[in-house]
Amino acid sequence: MTLTELKYIVAVAREKHFGRAADACYVSQPTLSVAIKKLEDELDVKLFERSAGEVTVTPLGEEIVRQAQSVLEQAAAIKEIAKRGKDPLSGVLTLGVIYTIGPYLLPDLVRNSIERTPQMPLMLQENFTVKLLEMLRTGEIDCAIVAEPFPDTGLAIAPLYDEPFMAAVPSSHPRWRRSPPLSTMDLKNETMLLLGAGHCFRDHVLEVCPEFARYASNAEGIRRTFEGSSLETIKHMVAAGMGVTLVPRLSVPKDALDTPRRRKSDEPHIRYLPIVEEDGVPPPSRRVVLVWRRSFTRYEAIAALRNAVYACALPGVTRLS
């Protein structure tokens, strides 16, 4: 039994496909298949059920794969311990970020990281929350910046900041010309533009704004919901007058909240409005956190990354210690 064979079975369990697993491990499919067959013969168990279009893990195989992942993490930890003895911050840190945070946080974060810890370059991975949590579990990334809530996976969690949502509305709409603060109820008769399924920000909006879910089936505005692939795409739809949306505060351009006379925004056709407390319910927001495996040994690297985040401008958000 070798670490390479254990790496192969973890890859197949993750990809549920021998070809994709071989690609992920940078080997040919025959090489991977032969190695897994050798391990199955050695253990005298069947790890995978193979069918025409799908590979499934046997019940016993699932237990073995979990143990294999633990062994691989421990083996990687030996290398990390050796690195830490020389320089705790030496080496690449692989960071995952969700799509609705990456474009707005990463420019400042990468710049701060380079200035503070040039010996620890960041390797970045953007993806959905569910995928990033899976990549954390399998050791493909070291840590991730995501927004709560998410499934409890036994990860270590450090809160970074609370970020309010703002309403993005078309400047041409006569209702919004005076830039009044508004409540979520004010939006119920508007056409709501949402991110497509899979984006956690869509779920966050529907969770903190229950009006959207409640009116989705029986109200004129929310019933006519459009879906976009990114926040920036949705903003273009807002600018075109197709509807309104909610956006996280960091996605708002720097000068978009200036008075109309001073405003020089790249988005002159969009107005960003604060959302006020309503019936004792605070304005919608999300908590952004840094998560990592509890078995991850580079504690100094996590602390350095948090400090780099705190050094970012983060306009309009509440930093958390």
- Residue 156 domain boundaries: 87-320
Which residues on adjacent β-strands are paired with residue 184?
none
What's the confidence (pLDDT) of residue 214? 46
Q: How far is CA 42 from CA 1, 16, 36, 147, 188, in A?
A: 8, 22, 10, 43, 63
CA distance linking residue 215 with residue 105, whole number of Å: 32
Asked whether residue 16 falls in the same domain as residue 53, the answer is yes
- What are the tens digits of pLDDT across the range 85-138? 677 788 889 999 999 999 999 999 999 999 999 999 999 999 988 889 988 988
Q: What is the mean pLDDT of residues 210-219?
A: 47
Asked whether residue 188 falls in the same domain as residue 276, the answer is yes
Asked whether residue 77 falls in the same domain as residue 92, the answer is no
Give yes or no for a contact between 238 and 251, defined as CB atoms under 8 angstroms apart: no
What's the confidence (pLDDT) of residue 76? 84
Please tell me the pTM assigned to this model: 0.70
Count of domains for the chain: 2
Asked whether residue 58 falls in the same domain as residue 100, the answer is no
Final residue belonging to a domain, choices 25, 55, 82:
82
Asked whether residue 52 falls in the same domain as residue 140, the answer is no
Size of the chain in residues: 321
Residue 176 has pLDDT above 90, yes or no: no
- What are the tens digits of pLDDT across the range 8-35? 999 999 988 899 899 989 999 999 999 9
